[in-house]
Structure 1
Amino acid sequence: MQNMKMGAIAGNTGLRLLGDALGDITGHSMPFRAEQVEQPAVLTRMVNEGALPVLGQPVAITGIHRQAIPAVSSNCQNLVLTIEQSGQAPLPDSVFVKLPMESLLTRWFMNVISSWRLESHFFRHVASGLPLRTPVTFATAWQGSRFFLLQENLRADPDVTLFTNLDMIRGPTLEQARHCLDAFARLHAFHYGMKPDQQLRILPLDYHPFLSPTMGVVSRNLNRLALQPCMKKRPGEIPAELAAAYRLTLTNWDALLTHWFSGPLSLLHGDSHLGNFFATGEKMGMLDWQAAHWGKGMRDVLYFLVDALPAEVLAAHEAELVQYYVESRARYGEPIDSGQAWQDYRSFSFHALMTIVVSIGFGALNEEQDALMLEILRRAVAASERLDYAGWLHDFLHR
């Protein structure tokens, strides 16, 4: 039954891609290639049709120059454009534009997991109300299998520091890590305790990567199918005991979902690695909200710490950093139990592992990131062993 559902989802996604390809012939599809969007008339139309209230008035773009700034992404084309405008120029002189990657396989995969649709919804309806900085979004739209975002160019702000792949391999300082944990605490406290129907009016369940009718099927099957090819590509990296715990988790997936997503929930970033932060002084903002969902704050915390810090550094400071987050939650008015927080932290070590297993198992979407992917896999394996995820799982299943 699960395979039939997955096949139907994959087939429907293929039909959307085909429909957009046919729409390219008739001119009804959303442009998604860089050379199209770099035409002033095309970008003007896209911005005005997808405008958010912050824009204030229609734009008239008369000239575009693409800056030679690398903006690496595993699933999108990221453009930094200098623009000329007539009239009062409601847009800044340079903007950041996010578009689908041209690779057909990548576009199919990102539509199967609905990440682009989620991000467009998030920046249109959710981002402006958050207690931490997100990129100012001037326009966004989703049509068929395609989307676009037009945002402020954070590189143009001299007070902003962005993090690179090298920073992710090297890891942040402990002070920077605490700033990130403080940002999580503010975010996670903001909606905590809201009634479920209130939360779902902000971000509907249809976008949830594990609980939505569509993504629930997709995530279960991706996790199940990814382990073997990941272990084949990276032999010896995942110990046999941990691989057995991985399989046992999928066997008991429904019970674990109930545990992970029950009780008071917070709005999570969902892909909370260092590269999705940016610093303004001591304050951290976040970008790339393609996996936002309702869950327990410890998921963001675990995912961030495991991905961001070299295993030996995290091992030496892990308890201290988790406790710092717990204390920060209390400072922001929504305290959580320290003992339960640690057990949740242990349980979510599987989430860091499964995410990188899926990324590698289905071919990291950008070959340039292979070295980073391998390092993150090793950090996730080390965390799962250090935190004894297999032991936590045994206790959970036999309590």
Structure 2
Amino acid sequence: MKQKILARRPSDLTIDWAQRVVKHGYPDVIVSEVTTVSVDIGTTTRVRLAIEHDGPAALPRRWFVKLPSLDWRARLITALPGLLHTEVRFYKEAAHAVPLAVPGFLAAQSKPGRGATLVLGDVTEAGATAGRPGDALTPAQATLVIEQLARFHAFFWNKVALAHTYRWLAGPVRRLEDHLGTALAVPLMQRGLKRAGKLVPAAVRGWAVRYARHRRQAMRFLSDGPQTLVHHDCHPGNIFWRQSQPGLLDWQLVRFGEGVADISYFLATALKPEVRRAHEARFLTTYAQVLAQHGITGIDPGSLWQRYGAHLPYPFEAMIVSLAVGGMIEPESNHELIRRVAAAVEDLDAFAAIPI
């Protein structure tokens, strides 16, 4: 019989709760102590726990637990489209196939209308370092991430059978998320731009509102490309580093889409504008080369560059919406990410690349 591990708040993460978690894979292990190390509230409530137990070394003693956000604004945006439910299903059904470093999965439970709880091994226990949203990566670090994303995308590239296996990624919940994004696009864009003030150049502001008004049409255009599995939220805070190699955290927005969308999101958020400008052409060349090494050939450099630019409005929208809603990213980091993505869309005239 499966143990019930749903929790609503950090105070629910007791010894009895932890005991139910370990029963999933280690029925004879006894948990003797649970200590809350930290609580971080954003799009979800993220709790780091220290666990004392008499089990083997393979059972982590540092856990990372995700619960529905305690911030009502973030919860309002994430609950209806079931983003945490999607991440639970990703770890249960897809994470084992992903050729990327991801946190170890311990247990999860998801019940629509009642919430979801995801329990992972804390990557720091194995000596990894978790990134922060406002981190600025070096060109060498960015190259490593680009190479990993290319391997990830190549593995799932245009594989119809896998799309059928993970058809829940394009199911009713995902369509609801897209409908909500379209319905709220204009008011959230206007509110976010007002809050951002001079962080967004005047030349970008008008284009951004126009994009929001035609978001459905823009999304159709951006989805018209070779399909693969994409992370869809590749900012520095969702990257961890183990022995200088990157892995990805936070798979709430995982879906099928165009691979270069992850590259656009990553380069626009993870690099200072001057670093991105100096290296982005080389990064795209690296991406195409690694895809080719894994059997994905025939990619036209000019078309890849155009699609890279066309996907930049989405990370801009994501950061502006985060500011509009509030409580999703720490404000100072949110402001820095807006500066970076605003520079990217202005540099490449990205909104003009979408025919709306």
- Using the size of structure 1 for normalisation, the TM-score is 0.81
Contact kept? 2:74, 2:327, Cα under 8 Å: no
Aligned mate of 2:115, from 131, 146, 160: 146
CA deviations 1:198-250 (Å, max 9, x no partner) are: 314225244688xx331121111232221221122122333343222223323
Structure 1 residues 208 and 300 mapped into 2: Cα distance closer, same or farther (>3 Å)? farther
1:308 Cα offset (Å): 0.6
Aligned residues: 351
Indicate whether 1:58 and 2:27 are aligned: yes
Tell me the secondary structure at the aligned position of residue 234 of structure 1: helix
Indicate whether 1:155 and 2:131 are aligned: no
Tell me the secondary structure at the aligned position of residue 149 of structure 2: helix
Indicate whether 1:226 and 2:196 are aligned: no
**Aligned residue for 1:179?**
144
Q: Within 5 A, what are the aligned runs for 1:34-53?
A: 34-37=10-13, 39-46=14-21, 48=23, 51=24
1:135 Cα offset (Å): 0.7
Q: Within 5 A, what are the aligned runs for 1:187-198?
A: 187-195=152-160, 198=162
Contact kept? 1:118, 1:207, Cα under 8 Å: no
Q: Which runs of 5+ in 2 are unaligned?
A: none
Contact kept? 1:59, 1:91, Cα under 8 Å: no
**Aligned residue for 2:98?**
130
Contact kept? 1:115, 1:290, Cα under 8 Å: yes
Tell me the secondary structure at the aligned position of residue 81 of structure 1: strand
- Aligned AA (2:144): H
| Aligned-residue RMSD, C-alpha | 2.4
Indicate whether 1:269 and 2:231 are aligned: yes
Aligned mate of 2:338, from 377, 386, 393: 377
**Aligned residue for 1:94?**
62
Could you tell me how far apart the structure 2 residues matched to 1:208 and 1:282 are?
39
Range 80-89 or range 297-306, more displaced: 80-89
**Aligned residue for 1:75?**
43
Q: Within 5 A, what are the aligned runs for 1:232-251?
A: 232-251=194-213
Could you tell me how far apart the structure 2 residues matched to 1:90 and 1:179 are?
28
Identity %: 26
Tell me the secondary structure at the aligned position of residue 142 of structure 1: strand
CA deviations 1:322-378 (Å, max 9, x no partner) are: 221121211222133211110111101101111011101112435xx1111111111
Contact kept? 1:306, 1:352, Cα under 8 Å: yes
Structure 1 residues 29 and 285 mapped into 2: Cα distance closer, same or farther (>3 Å)? closer
Structure 1 residues 164 and 365 mapped into 2: Cα distance closer, same or farther (>3 Å)? closer
Contact kept? 2:157, 2:227, Cα under 8 Å: yes
Structure 1 residues 281 and 88 mapped into 2: Cα distance closer, same or farther (>3 Å)? closer
**Aligned residue for 1:6?**
none
**Aligned residue for 1:386?**
347
**Aligned residue for 1:22?**
none
Indicate whether 1:344 and 2:307 are aligned: yes
Could you tell me how far apart the structure 1 residues matched to 2:311 and 2:192 are?
20
Structure 1 residues 46 and 222 mapped into 2: Cα distance closer, same or farther (>3 Å)? farther
1:97 Cα offset (Å): 1.9
Indicate whether 1:30 and 2:21 are aligned: no
Range 80-89 or range 319-328, more displaced: 80-89
Contact kept? 1:76, 1:100, Cα under 8 Å: yes
- Aligned AA (1:234): A
Aligned mate of 2:168, from 186, 204, 217: 204
Q: Post-superposition, which runs of at least 4 consecutive aligned residues in structure 1 deviate over 6 A?
A: 87-90
- Using the size of structure 2 for normalisation, the TM-score is 0.90
Range 198-207 or range 279-288, more displaced: 198-207
- Aligned AA (1:239): P
- Aligned AA (1:280): R
**Aligned residue for 1:3?**
none
Indicate whether 1:360 and 2:323 are aligned: yes
Contact kept? 1:208, 1:293, Cα under 8 Å: no
